[in-house]
Chains A and B, each alone.
Chain A
Amino acid sequence: MPHKIKPLLLTTLLFVSALSCFGQSTTGTISVTATVSKFVEINSGGAVTLTGNSGGGVTTDGVLNSPLAVSINLGELGPVNTNNFVTAQVPLKLRSNAGYVLSMTATVTSSGTTANRISAADVGFGLGTITRTGTGVNGSGTDTNATSGDPTLAANGSVNGTSGRYEFTAVRSNLSAFSSATTALSGPFIMNAVPRSNGNGLTVPAFFAIKPQFFENGTTTISVTFTVTAP
């Protein structure tokens, strides 16, 4: 091969090779992934209803769809209050995309020093009627209420024939059953595939009741914490 041809051939092949490396393509790809994790929340289901009280009142009320942070002064709980019960009804709203468990922990502290002071067993508790309604709510779910409902119902308590003290006797009908985190309610997923801006959910009233009695005088503080999880 003549000496002038070899460099020319080599140059040409290199040039062509370079042109072929500009990577034209008639296809392109977009790969997509997305993740949905378990989500549960508890909020206020609305305003608190306080009945049978003598003095006292709702110090910090519930605001619908806002974080639950309610403060209630039950007022006088001695025989000065002649009502049958002092009852606070606190609406709760739950939402989830998975099965949920609502548990509760309660502490009761009293300035009294005797057995006649108000104790956790003297504070009736129960969850009322569970409602799953509204656009975007899974209406077919069946919830399990682990409490006995409204503690003031006759079936849920009575006067102890021996001691004469009124007692909330039904299953998980007073706060002594919730000294540690204890399930109060559970069920399947609450919300269908709707945005968080959808304001609906599961609503349930939480009842707290005390029967005025000859308790030891003093002040009592009741603290209740609700926790919802998706096991």
Chain B
Amino acid sequence: MTRLLLSFLALVIVLTFTPVVSAQALDISSGGQPTITGAVNGSVTGSANVTNDLVVTVNFGEVSPLNTNSIVKVVVPIALRSNQPYQVSVLISGLTVGTGNALQATDIGFGLQNPRLLGGARQMCNQSTHIIRSPFNNDPSTTATVGTSGRVVYPSTLANISGSTLLLSGPELSKNNSSKRQQSDGWVFDAILTITPQFFTTGVSSATLVFSIAPGPNVPC
């Protein structure tokens, strides 16, 4: 009887640990405190703790000429962890924007920048690099230009997101195989969102970006 119970106990441990190890292989979390600059009546909320989920709310505030700043810029650090090659995709849900002179998806600059290590347990691979996919490898606050119509244009915007759109891929990100999120076991990337205040048609616009991480192309570390 005792042997049977011990066997059952061992089976429980194995079965229970298996999905936990699998779950921690790929992970997205907050990469630090999000920031906003150039806003009037705007805000950004999100956790500074890198062990918390990535749940960020951005209010760009006023983006008519009532906002006399040259640009409203939001930087959202995103922490990624994996013990295998990965890829990060993004999709948009609940997009409510206008047409013509109203704020459109093309008026919201979006880029990915500044890959950096998340502490000492990160994985430094020298056979493959982390690749930010075109056209998102830019800081829209510095790459914005005025188009022939006088409207501001960006190299990449929310309009470049169609369905689940690949943003980033690369080799494994974490060095250890810890079964939990740690302060120092991955990489951080900055997602940058911008709007230049313009003579847009009045209204309120909104969108939700959903980032997801999945096994990526099998590249060596």
Q: Which of B101-109, B113-121, B125-133, B134-142 contacts A (4 or more CB under 8 A)?
A: B101-109
- Which of A34, A35, A193 is B199 in contact with, Cβ under 8 Å? A193
24 examples of A-B residue contacts, CB within 8 angstroms: A5-B2, A5-B9, A8-B9, A9-B9, A20-B16, A22-B51, A25-B28, A25-B54, A29-B211, A31-B206, A32-B208, A33-B60, A34-B61, A34-B205, A36-B203, A39-B199, A41-B65, A95-B65, A189-B201, A193-B101, A193-B200, A196-B65, A197-B70, A198-B146
A153 touches B (CB below 8 Å): no
- Cβ distance A3 to chain B, nearest Cβ, rounded Å: 11
Given contacts A25-B29, A26-B212, 17 further A-B contacts (CB under 8 A): A13-B12, A16-B17, A22-B24, A24-B181, A27-B211, A34-B103, A34-B204, A34-B205, A34-B206, A35-B41, A35-B204, A36-B62, A36-B205, A97-B101, A192-B149, A193-B101, A196-B65
The reply to whether B103 and A36 form a contact with Cβ atoms under 8 Å apart is yes
The reply to whether A33 and B199 form a contact with Cβ atoms under 8 Å apart is no
A185 touches B (CB below 8 Å): no
The reply to whether B206 and A32 form a contact with Cβ atoms under 8 Å apart is yes
The reply to whether A192 and B101 form a contact with Cβ atoms under 8 Å apart is yes
A182-216 vs B, CB cutoff 8 Å, 1 = contact: the mask equals 00000001111111111010000000000000000
A-B pairs, 5 with minimum CB distance: A28-B54, A136-B150, A22-B180, A191-B199, A194-B150
- Cβ distance B61 to chain A, nearest Cβ, rounded Å: 6
A115 touches B (CB below 8 Å): no
B76 touches A (CB below 8 Å): yes
The reply to whether B181 and A30 form a contact with Cβ atoms under 8 Å apart is no
Given known A-B contacts A32-B208, A194-B198, A25 and B58 have beta carbons under 8 A apart: no
Using C-beta atoms within 8 Å of the partner chain, give the interface range for chain B. Answer: 35 or more
User: Which chain B residues (142-156) contact chain A, with CB distance < 8 Å?
Assistant: 146, 148-152
Contacts of A38 in B (CB 8 A): 64, 202
The reply to whether A195 and B198 form a contact with Cβ atoms under 8 Å apart is yes
- Cβ distance B116 to chain A, nearest Cβ, rounded Å: 18
The reply to whether A193 and B151 form a contact with Cβ atoms under 8 Å apart is yes
B163-195 vs A, CB cutoff 8 Å, 1 = contact: the mask equals 000000000000000011100000000010101
CB-CB nearest in chain B for A194:
B150
The reply to whether B55 and A28 form a contact with Cβ atoms under 8 Å apart is yes
B33 touches A (CB below 8 Å): no
A19 touches B (CB below 8 Å): yes
The reply to whether B211 and A23 form a contact with Cβ atoms under 8 Å apart is no
The reply to whether A29 and B20 form a contact with Cβ atoms under 8 Å apart is no
